Structure 1
Amino acid sequence: MRAGVIKAYILKELTELFRTRLIIMVYLMPSMILLLFGYGIRMEVTHARIVILDNDQSHYSQLLTSKFEDSKYFDPMVMQISEKEALHLIKQAKAEMILIIPSSFEKRLIHGQKTEIGLFIDAAFPTRATTMESYVQGVILQAASEVGQKRSQNALITINSRNLFNQAMRDENAMVPGLIGLVLLVAPAILSALLIVKEKERGTIFNFYASPIRKHEFILAKLTPVFLLHSVNIFILFLWATWLFEVPFRGSFALYWVSSELYILISLGIGMLISIVTRSQIAAVVITVIVTLLPGFLYSGIILPISAMDHESYIEAHMFPVMYYNHILYDAFLIGEGLDSPTNRLYLGILVLYGATLLLLGTLFLKKELK
């Protein structure tokens, strides 16, 4: 491997990045994605508008109503209207839920009889509807538990729950580490996808065909500047996460840094392969976005835990590197097991294998000749 030749190509690539101002995209794009999605994605539902139809007007029904009024998750509206009018409020998007307390609510509770409460939810967005339903069930169970303790004096079952790793239940703690994995997959891949295909469009690829430089030297010279520039983003994104979003960091910074460097190398390898097989920059960018952005959302664990996926989706999630890297990220930020965890060691080894395979495939697919 000739260091002088590689150095000359690296200087050429750096000059090209500065001349075309792509250096701005290297640092602007990752930060913008993290800030936009970090503030924009919210899994928690607060201030849900719920219409309460209290047909009983009793002590117990008012106790249940007060539980909704004291909760940050609901904005209750107690109304004396018909069910048809209440459902019309949902159709007009003026309410999201309707809770109907029957007229015999307190009487049945006092006599120990089964009673039913009606709940209608706007399920246009299923995930949000499921979340709101669980909140309502929690409020009702809490009220029922208090009523049961007052009547029997002794509670048969008491649930004492504790939240681990994200005690404050902050969306930022759950979303931002996963977004770092998404950012470091998309941004380096898009930039590296332009490295070789732009040479084809401009015709400067003939310099590579005619020169004595070897294929692995050419790939190394192409990827090194982008790799070094994006390595700075590892620290920039870390500062955004811990300082701006106030996400705790409980693990090993060395593990975070090493795994991030490997992950950037994988991202560059994906973009490089796309750049080799495509013939236009537009096609390269479109394919890169499809290959990185969509799997980055679907199979990273940001929206849906990998363990909750079924069959095909579970297998597909294990085919993309974002799942392995995000597992290490969440451990570094929220758990802190580090290399003591056998899963982290296994996933780190998979990232090494993934990166080596992509670089090998890039060297094999790159042809030093006209097609």
Structure 2
Amino acid sequence: MKFSVVKAYMLKEFTELFRSKLIIMVYLLPSMIMLLFGYGIRMDVTHARTLIIDNDHSHFSRMLTAKFEHSKYFNAKVTQMSEAEALHRIKQAKADIIVIIPASFEKRILYGQHSEIGVFVDGAFPNRGMTMESYVQGVILDTAQSVGGSLGRQSGMISINSRNLFNQAMRDADAIVPGLMGLVLLVAPAILSALMIVKEKERGTIFNFYASPLGRGEFLAAKLIPGFLLHSLNIFILFLWATELFDVPFRGSFMLYWFAAEIYILISLSIGMLISVITRQQIVAVVLTIIITIIPGFLYSGILMPISSMAGESYIEAHLFPVMYFNHIIYDCFLSGTGLASAKTVEYLGILIIYATLLLVLGSTLLKKELK
């Protein structure tokens, strides 16, 4: 490899990046995605609009009502409206939950009889509806434990002492922000590298490469190294956003995080390079890159849905994209801290290295030094 020639091409690429203002996108786009989605995506449900129809007006019914009123997950309001009117409120999107306490609630409990509490949940959005339903069940179960304990029954003698590992406070930022880093480092480098070769095709300057003695490997190295060096800085910028701005803990090895992120950036650049090789227009390259990176970055990264809960074709597709493997390492570095002691982390790191190697070889093979 002629390093002097590669160096000259690299200087040309850096000059083009500064001249075309693409250098701004290199650092602005990742930070914008991190900030917008980091603050915008929320899996938790708080202040759900709750209507409580208390038909009993007893001590136990008020105890249950107080549990809802003193929880941040509910914006509870006790009302005497009819059941039909309350359901109409949900249809009008003015309420999220309806809790109906029967008239004989306390009497049945005192006599040890079975009592039912009516609960209606807005299930227009299934995930949100299931979350609100679990919150309601938790409040009712907690109240049942308290009532059983006050009556000296066995149900009050059983308590659940649970602890949440890795994300003790159940913060959305701890679950979302590390996954967003996998999305950011997949999208931004790929878009940049997707423009590297195709823009020369549009301008006609690609003929300089066709006529020069520069090899395909040297040409690709000159194209990828500037983007690789520039986006390597984003590894540290995103780390600072996560730890300082979003207060996400970091419990693992920084060297593992840095090495995995560098390999992942190389994968992202290689994806954009492949798209740049097979396309002839910049707009086509950008659109194709966005489709290939953003959609899998959300669906198969584990941010919104655990990979273990997928089945069939979706489970197979998740394992075809590198974002799943990288995000596993990122979550380990930030939340778990197991590092290379985990066999799966070592396996996924090896898969990323193989992925990068195959993409680079494939790009070098598809790049033809000739006019089609």
State the TM-score, normalized to the length of structure 1.
0.99
How do 1:46-61 residues align onto structure 2 when only pairs under 5 Å count?
A: 46-61=46-61
Supply the distance in 2 between the matched residues of 1:316 and 1:156 (Cα, whole angstroms).
47
- Partner in structure 1 of residue 25 of structure 2: 25
Supply the distance in 1 between the matched residues of 2:282 and 2:109 (Cα, whole angstroms).
70
Q: 3-state DSSP class of the match of 1:164?
A: coil
- Partner in structure 2 of residue 77 of structure 1: 77
Q: CA RMSD in A?
A: 0.8
Q: Percent identity?
A: 70
Supply the distance in 1 between the matched residues of 2:152 and 2:309 (Cα, whole angstroms).
39
How do 1:346-361 residues align onto structure 2 when only pairs under 5 Å count?
A: 346-361=347-362
Supply the distance in 2 between the matched residues of 1:173 and 1:329 (Cα, whole angstroms).
11
How do 1:259-278 residues align onto structure 2 when only pairs under 5 Å count?
A: 259-278=260-279
Supply the distance in 1 between the matched residues of 2:327 and 2:252 (Cα, whole angstroms).
14
Q: CA deviation at 1:71?
A: 0.6
Supply the distance in 2 between the matched residues of 1:187 and 1:72 (Cα, whole angstroms).
37
- Partner in structure 2 of residue 16 of structure 1: 16
- Partner in structure 2 of residue 142 of structure 1: 142
Supply the distance in 2 between the matched residues of 1:145 and 1:300 (Cα, whole angstroms).
39
Supply the distance in 1 between the matched residues of 2:219 and 2:108 (Cα, whole angstroms).
80
Q: 3-state DSSP class of the match of 2:293?
A: helix
Supply the distance in 2 between the matched residues of 1:99 and 1:158 (Cα, whole angstroms).
24
Supply the distance in 2 between the matched residues of 1:59 and 1:202 (Cα, whole angstroms).
80
Q: CA deviation at 1:311?
A: 1.6
Supply the distance in 2 between the matched residues of 1:112 and 1:323 (Cα, whole angstroms).
51
Supply the distance in 2 between the matched residues of 1:279 and 1:103 (Cα, whole angstroms).
73
Q: CA deviation at 1:163?
A: 0.8
Q: CA deviation at 1:94?
A: 1.4
Supply the distance in 2 between the matched residues of 1:103 and 1:312 (Cα, whole angstroms).
50
The count of residues paired between Structure 1 and Structure 2 equals 371
Q: 3-state DSSP class of the match of 1:195?
A: helix
Supply the distance in 1 between the matched residues of 2:234 and 2:88 (Cα, whole angstroms).
50
- Partner in structure 1 of residue 123 of structure 2: 123
Q: Is 1:184–2:204 an aligned residue pair?
A: no
- Partner in structure 2 of residue 194 of structure 1: 195
Gap runs ≥5 in structure 1: none
Q: CA deviation at 1:310?
A: 1.2
Deviations, residues 155-207 of structure 1 (Å, cap 9, x unaligned):
44221101100111111111000000000000000110001111111111101
Q: Letter of the 2:327 partner, please give it.
A: N
Q: CA deviation at 1:329?
A: 0.3
Supply the distance in 2 between the matched residues of 1:330 and 1:104 (Cα, whole angstroms).
50
Q: 3-state DSSP class of the match of 1:76?
A: strand
Q: CA deviation at 1:153?
A: 5.5
Supply the distance in 1 between the matched residues of 2:180 and 2:150 (Cα, whole angstroms).
47
Gap runs ≥5 in structure 2: none
Supply the distance in 2 between the matched residues of 1:196 and 1:335 (Cα, whole angstroms).
40
Q: Is 1:110–2:95 an aligned residue pair?
A: no
Q: Letter of the 2:324 partner, please give it.
A: M
State the TM-score, normalized to the length of structure 2.
0.99
- Partner in structure 2 of residue 363 of structure 1: 364
Q: Is 1:219–2:212 an aligned residue pair?
A: no
- Partner in structure 2 of residue 86 of structure 1: 86
Select between 154-163 and 310-319 the one with higher mean Cα deviation.
Answer: 154-163
How do 1:229-248 residues align onto structure 2 when only pairs under 5 Å count?
A: 229-248=230-249
Supply the distance in 2 between the matched residues of 1:346 and 1:121 (Cα, whole angstroms).
43
Supply the distance in 2 between the matched residues of 1:68 and 1:256 (Cα, whole angstroms).
42
Q: CA deviation at 1:283?
A: 0.6
Supply the distance in 1 between the matched residues of 2:136 and 2:311 (Cα, whole angstroms).
28
Q: CA deviation at 1:151?
A: 1.0
- Aligned residues of 2:300 and 2:323 also touching (Cα < 8 A): yes
Q: Is 1:326–2:327 an aligned residue pair?
A: yes
- Partner in structure 2 of residue 256 of structure 1: 257
Deviations, residues 5-29 of structure 1 (Å, cap 9, x unaligned):
1001100000000000000000000
